[in-house]
Amino acid sequence: MILEISNLKKTYGDRTVVNIESLQINAGETVGIVGNNGAGKTTMFRMVLDLIRPTAGEIRSKGELVDRHDQWKNYTASYLDEGFLIDYLTSEEYFMFIGGLHEMTAAHVSDYLLQFQDFFNGEILNKGKYIRDFSKGNQNKIGIAASLMQNPELLILDEPFANLDPTTQIRLKTLIRSLKEERQMSTLISSHDLNHVTDVCDRIILMEKGLIIKDIHKTENTLSELEAYFAE
């Protein structure tokens, strides 16, 4: 079990925005989190990554409480938003910086980036631009590629398909699938794109007002089931 959540609550004032009794994520699963604006997806991710403190409850990664231990940081990578980037660096400088944190040499970083040629689609490297001057979609690509530099066992992405062009959306799905197959990587993806998320995930969790309303193992009916739910 890579992640185990129990009785997790986050309250702001008198509003409970996350209220998850129990959720378990198994190693190798690709899990999509769907739900309308304000459902609590990002807040849940922030608690899982120990970026904000729960009001109550526990989050364990491989059995260890994430707010008490650091071991999970060695195998957990994430890209939630552009706040994860360093906007006054160029993309190359940023990759070198992140690579340095993982004890990669400059040559190793350059070599690593070769596999992202398709994903970057010629828009990321050698542009002589600071990260702040890239489009949101291209910032996404930089953040996702950088998050994967540590060879994570668990990857957490917040709305990764938003702002990506259709070609890159498809390439991102291919990338996630191949990392699952090659390395048994587990992925948590929040998304408003029901098509992409049901396509790439084996399990879909539907949240509403902080609660888990459905936890579905994907079948050929899942997309239409979700579409019917959101059409109501």
Interface residues with ligand ATP (CB under 6 A) are 12, 17, 35, 37-43
Closest CA to 60 of 131, 96, 7, 133: 7
Q: Which is nearer to ligand ATP, 28 or 38 (CB)?
A: 38
Q: Which is nearer to ligand ATP, 38 or 137 (CB)?
A: 38
Query: 134-140: long-range contacts at Cβ-Cβ below 8 A with a sequence spacing of 24 or more?
Result: 134/91, 135/163, 136/82, 136/163, 137/163, 137/164, 137/165, 137/168, 139/82, 139/85, 140/79, 140/164
Q: Which is nearer to ligand ATP, 109 or 212 (CB)?
A: 212
| Pairwise CA distance, residues 28 & 58, whole Å | 22
Q: Nearest distance from residue 123's CB to ligand ATP, in Å? A: 25
Q: Which is nearer to ligand ATP, 43 or 186 (CB)?
A: 43
Closest CA to 120 of 98, 130, 135, 106: 135
Q: Which is nearer to ligand ATP, 153 or 158 (CB)?
A: 158
| Pairwise CA distance, residues 172 & 15, whole Å | 35
| Pairwise CA distance, residues 155 & 188, whole Å | 6
Q: Nearest distance from residue 156's CB to ligand ATP, in Å? A: 12
Closest CA to 55 of 8, 13, 21, 23: 8
